[in-house]
Structure 1
């Protein structure tokens, strides 16, 4: 059996002994924080009476917007996200009051005594309605290249239509939470379940009207994030800090599952109108689109999400003429936010849908149509935003995958199966990905590290990346171990702390290993240089002959004589040589003009491909994934076992988004799918029966940390292959191409089969 866990630091996850926020020891006098949410999606607050609630046993404080000492705003970009509702409410679940009590039971009893009078207003729940009334959170985004009018005129054919794309709940296993501890000097120590400790720090300081230096944020491992704990983790940090300050006692606030799902935002749903022109050979000549994004009630990270959508409209394909308008529609729902892929999955879903439509109309193999449209090395290698696509291995990946997956043989077998089965059909679909790595807001591409070497030869590392189950700490140990020649068990990665590593960027955008790994490598290289000079004089080893390996130092020309690292470190310490080093890293050579949508926003692209085969029952909508083959370019992987797990997990999460997971609000704006009983995420029975994941070999990235490429977000795109395979199975049943919105739930599959065929 293949070994999956490669480091002893991961054993606590396997054994279930990892301490998450709610497992940590309780400080003395700890209180429980609780939120009173708005019961309506849109309304005017006329009166709040907390008199009776304050009399409840165990209640220590109830706070409203008027009790905030600083600014009533915690928006990460725009000042349109209140800490607590003041005067109006804009979604069902918006925080109105905060309560500190001895426990949740006391807090809930107090909340039942709150008297609130809200004049309900009609909620806007459909982005189409918001679009028609021009109700946008910020100015729409626009991108174009070439002349789409000429492109459509020169096309032999056109295809156009509408695609509805649903949202997605993060469903991290550990819900949002924070613990705030007031200190005697008036400062605060926050333990937060966040992907962005600096955002927590700055928001708490702003809301409390104190300096950021008085707010210390520490992050232990968190139980999943997927983007949901990037900005919206700030809420619990701010809420617990407000209550802790008011009571001068520690306050822990951890949302339960229903609260988490009702309060927080999701992946952005979208309604998309598209048109594409193409030749008889299947070559795209023009593509235009209009995206209506459901952003929720405030901005959050929507601008950056829509921007990344815009930068991935092309996916893996060169399109000579392209034009798109992307609208940030305001609705009375929780503010939608970052979720793995960050706007790119919605964009890629549309262009991949178009590729299938083109292939079906021309009766060409979809793999061939994709291949003909791939970015090429010359003439067809510049994106609509002006970045050159370098190190392009898309065609090589395609050729290898078609061979290793027995594509032609399986395609014929599926056709044979479909001829003899009336209500059960099979479909295959192939999806490539070209995913840009870097924050599109350029200044965020930075990281820092502090490396300390101890006299016994062990090492501690402080860096800005948050461990959330993705194996970041293990990869950072790998970087340090390889660079310093130190055994991994002698290296400890400390929890992220804003007092040690300040001004961190969020662990997001698949940049965690790159930014923090480069900073660690830079610090270690400086430390080694200092010690190398000492080795030359102390051990009489020529500089170019020094080898650091397995916690030993030796002359490569005299390998029999080895010096323990702890001996070297002790001697260096006595010689008054610093054994600590700090380093800062920024991603080189990237720039992006948001006004013109031109530049080089990405340091590099991650590419790969997935082929999925499904079998669908047209009468019930049930489907099974017969087989999935994935070929993914990880460069020189820092740890293939971790990367393989990330690819598998991302695929399943993507598959869940496009098939099983459906967010349903009633006409009053109440989220009905607010728990695992009503919101279906993939289970073990939903994964491919035959699941083959392989690295694309021989393509290290010279600018990556030790030749590696990012892994977190790009593989989620592979989940689209399940949706398109189901669509192709439905087309086989109907005898013509079908339109299948996302998610392709059982109900939607049956309705589609009924609409396009005859279920008799």
Structure 2
């Protein structure tokens, strides 16, 4: 079969040889202009005047653009919301775009932008979650998931604990920064090459800014140099600004952000603060949870509603909570508007119960692993707090496999023995079980389209609404089409995503890329195949059931004859018979529904499961820490491409490890982000990946739901497996106190935070 096989990424050789073409590699037509943004230098204030006279007079400058020059609606937030492309009366964070300079070269544009003079009357800024909570400053009303009677259950619980903790945000740090290249055409048409995960949103935003119909703007995306959610909504502003300049000048315009500007101007993963109380019995069984999750939304709404909803729907993670109240606050601050990031609130949601269960175990003197398993979803206790059943539950199996494959019991005994004799270095072994929901929180986004052409030589062109950002989506969907026609993968040519070929696309996000676009491509390919079968049956006077596609051929079996044609010969014969060899395909995810006000429904088509163990070592004198080993088991159903999925799991885990250990965003007291490049913002390097890194796909676990070839999503769930690193660090720290006391360890667990946690046990 072509599916379930480990084909290499379709651009693998081009990636490693430098031949892959990204937007900044595209040849620039004569007359191409370059743009640079003018950014706000303060976090809050009234914008009284923008003086661009010196900028406009600078060498090479062709034009300048402010909010007053926008012919349409100054809005990049999408329908029903407001977020200006260029500030016009107020500035809301340091790095907000106020104007743009367009010049003949990139250096000229950036130099001229520095000459802009902004007259801003400073206002009071909110720069942290605590202040926003105190002032009840929200970007949306608080949300709540409620089941049972948590107050009564808490009051009657034999034991209760309360705690607080926080996790930081995370910079996407995609290799290719935010960029757009816009080519004007006839009658006001624009072709926009955008590094975006959501071509349709970019199309809509450009059209809204220009005040034109969507059909005049075509978005083209061949590949992204990484996205991770940072190019789901943020890319629209970059493309919109470039489109305005191209429309105004009638010349091609490229806008690309340098790394520092990119980090200052664009949103991050939401940082969260938590307060919770948990009630439990003497065995460690959770009876009630009352939790507050406060997210730093930044200054505008952006993707925060979905992030809050997913965080709340993942507070339970792998555990049955009979009585629960979880309230999510979307705190408005004068910082970058935070946005989608791989996991989309799920990683921030699961840490609540992981922290609670560790504290329960320490309080009772019980094994934290046993306490976790005691609280797993199981038969009779299989409904989430928001009303969805946990079906096809692989929790116990993933848990058992990671414990056995990682020889965890033996290693924990060895680690405990090491810690008893090592006064400075302490080792820790942490575990984490996972249940992660797959689908968009907004039901209408769970749809996709595709377009398939079969040519008369048997070659096939494939187009769909998903974007390729290095995750292997194109090769997976190509495998689906090859499987339908039973031809080699070399016969399929994926083409650049384009709103001119597949309209009204959903973003490539929420781990749904293969699920949605794979099915849409299957529908398109199968429509053509059925036409070919019907024609062949009539042409050869055979029954449709006697027409078989296999190994690049079409076999026509009938009494006294067994004719075999190549797939190309059959395609040519169909063309001569006036059979259409082109078709669209469409798919919408079944069963999903969600009431955002009541916070109940079935937001997910299915759940993905997994388990992880991580071993760490810390230096109790410096707080320095290292991940020594990781053992992962991930449920991918019947994987479409095991090699691609293994790569996704490894990359996601290390990215999650970075979020929880070393990737610290730091703002000064004036609201200026100071970690604005690789010298000050530390993403994991090759030496930070676990030296022993064992990854296993859960065997013989095809999805029971009608997913594409019974596969399951893989993009986001493995990032959450890195939570095992955080629990391992706590285990190592607690060894200082002989595991008698639970510690608070905020993330990222930098050496400073690890050292501070160690100090609490020594004082």
TM category (shorter chain) comes to over 0.9
Counterpart-to-counterpart distance in 2, 1:191 and 1:610: 40
State the partner residue of 1:744: 749
1:714 to 708, 714, 717: 717
State the partner residue of 2:490: 489
State the partner residue of 2:462: 461
**After superposition, where does 1:603-752 map in structure 2 within 5 Å?**
603-702=605-704, 703-735=706-738, 736-752=741-757
Paired residue secondary structure (1:684):
coil
Deviations 1:464-507 (A, max 9, x none): 00000000000011111111101111101111110110000000
Q: Does the aligned pair in 2 maintain the 1:77–1:299 contact within 8 Å?
A: no
Q: Does the aligned pair in 2 maintain the 1:78–1:300 contact within 8 Å?
A: no
Tell which deviates more after alignment, 71-80 or 418-427: 71-80
Per-residue deviation, 1:701: 1.0
State the partner residue of 1:473: 474
Counterpart-to-counterpart distance in 1, 2:723 and 2:287: 24
Q: Does the aligned pair in 1 maintain the 2:542–2:557 contact within 8 Å?
A: no
1:74 to 73, 76, 93: 76
**After superposition, where does 1:323-472 map in structure 2 within 5 Å?**
323-377=325-379, 379-472=380-473
Deviations 1:660-699 (A, max 9, x none): 0000000000000000000000001101111000011111
1:93 to 89, 92, 95: 95
Per-residue deviation, 1:540: 5.2
* Structure 2 unaligned spans of 5+: none
Per-residue deviation, 1:536: 2.1
Per-residue deviation, 1:296: 0.4
The 3 A distance-change label for structure 1 pair 553 and 138 is: same
Counterpart-to-counterpart distance in 1, 2:27 and 2:282: 68
Deviations 1:334-390 (A, max 9, x none): 10000000011111011111111112222222221111111112x201111111111
Paired residue secondary structure (1:728):
helix
Counterpart-to-counterpart distance in 2, 1:19 and 1:276: 53
Per-residue deviation, 1:77: 5.6
Counterpart-to-counterpart distance in 2, 1:26 and 1:78: 36
Deviations 1:104-136 (A, max 9, x none): 221233223322211222321111101111111
Paired residue secondary structure (2:687):
helix
Per-residue deviation, 1:544: 2.7
What's the C-alpha RMSD, in Å, of the aligned pairs?
1.5
Q: Does the aligned pair in 2 maintain the 1:76–1:301 contact within 8 Å?
A: no
Q: Does the aligned pair in 1 maintain the 2:159–2:280 contact within 8 Å?
A: yes
Counterpart-to-counterpart distance in 2, 1:540 and 1:400: 54
Per-residue deviation, 1:248: 1.2
Paired residue secondary structure (1:742):
coil
User: Does 1:243 pair with 2:251?
Assistant: no
Counterpart-to-counterpart distance in 1, 2:343 and 2:719: 7
The 3 A distance-change label for structure 1 pair 502 and 313 is: same
Tell me the number of residue pairs that the alignment of Structure 1 and Structure 2 aligns: 755
Deviations 1:614-657 (A, max 9, x none): 11111122222221110111111000000000000000000000
Counterpart-to-counterpart distance in 1, 2:424 and 2:433: 30
**After superposition, where does 1:143-292 map in structure 2 within 5 Å?**
143-292=145-294
Counterpart-to-counterpart distance in 1, 2:638 and 2:734: 40
Per-residue deviation, 1:33: 1.0
State the partner residue of 1:552: 553
**After superposition, where does 1:18-57 map in structure 2 within 5 Å?**
18-57=20-59
Counterpart-to-counterpart distance in 1, 2:35 and 2:261: 13
Counterpart-to-counterpart distance in 2, 1:270 and 1:135: 15
Per-residue deviation, 1:524: 1.4
Per-residue deviation, 1:556: 7.6
Tell which deviates more after alignment, 350-359 or 690-699: 350-359
Counterpart-to-counterpart distance in 2, 1:233 and 1:54: 26
Counterpart-to-counterpart distance in 2, 1:85 and 1:185: 29
Tell which deviates more after alignment, 115-124 or 171-180: 115-124
Paired residue secondary structure (1:25):
coil
**After superposition, where does 1:276-315 map in structure 2 within 5 Å?**
276-315=278-317
The TM-score normalised by the length of structure 2 is 0.97
Counterpart-to-counterpart distance in 1, 2:72 and 2:456: 46
Counterpart-to-counterpart distance in 2, 1:500 and 1:596: 38
The TM-score normalised by the length of structure 1 is 0.97
**After superposition, where does 1:584-595 map in structure 2 within 5 Å?**
584-595=586-597
The 3 A distance-change label for structure 1 pair 178 and 748 is: same
Counterpart-to-counterpart distance in 2, 1:382 and 1:619: 46
Counterpart-to-counterpart distance in 2, 1:661 and 1:330: 23
Per-residue deviation, 1:13: 1.4
State the partner residue of 2:128: 126
Counterpart-to-counterpart distance in 2, 1:421 and 1:539: 81
Per-residue deviation, 1:402: 1.3
Counterpart-to-counterpart distance in 1, 2:366 and 2:144: 32
Counterpart-to-counterpart distance in 2, 1:687 and 1:235: 34
Counterpart-to-counterpart distance in 1, 2:355 and 2:557: 57
Per-residue deviation, 1:79: 2.7
* Structure 1 unaligned spans of 5+: none
Paired residue secondary structure (1:629):
strand
Q: Does the aligned pair in 2 maintain the 1:452–1:579 contact within 8 Å?
A: yes
Counterpart-to-counterpart distance in 1, 2:124 and 2:557: 77
Tell which deviates more after alignment, 74-83 or 48-57: 74-83
Q: Does the aligned pair in 1 maintain the 2:653–2:718 contact within 8 Å?
A: yes
Deviations 1:217-241 (A, max 9, x none): 1111000000000011001110001
Per-residue deviation, 1:5: 6.3
1:102 to 101, 104, 112: 104
Counterpart-to-counterpart distance in 2, 1:560 and 1:752: 76
Counterpart-to-counterpart distance in 1, 2:609 and 2:623: 32
Counterpart-to-counterpart distance in 1, 2:6 and 2:464: 25
Per-residue deviation, 1:185: 1.3
Per-residue deviation, 1:427: 0.8
Per-residue deviation, 1:566: 0.8
Deviations 1:564-623 (A, max 9, x none): 111111111101011111111100111111121111111000000001111111112222
Counterpart-to-counterpart distance in 2, 1:57 and 1:9: 40
Tell which deviates more after alignment, 548-557 or 482-491: 548-557
Paired residue secondary structure (1:532):
helix
Q: Does the aligned pair in 2 maintain the 1:77–1:301 contact within 8 Å?
A: no
Per-residue deviation, 1:561: 5.4
Deviations 1:304-329 (A, max 9, x none): 11011111110111100000111111
Paired residue secondary structure (1:181):
strand
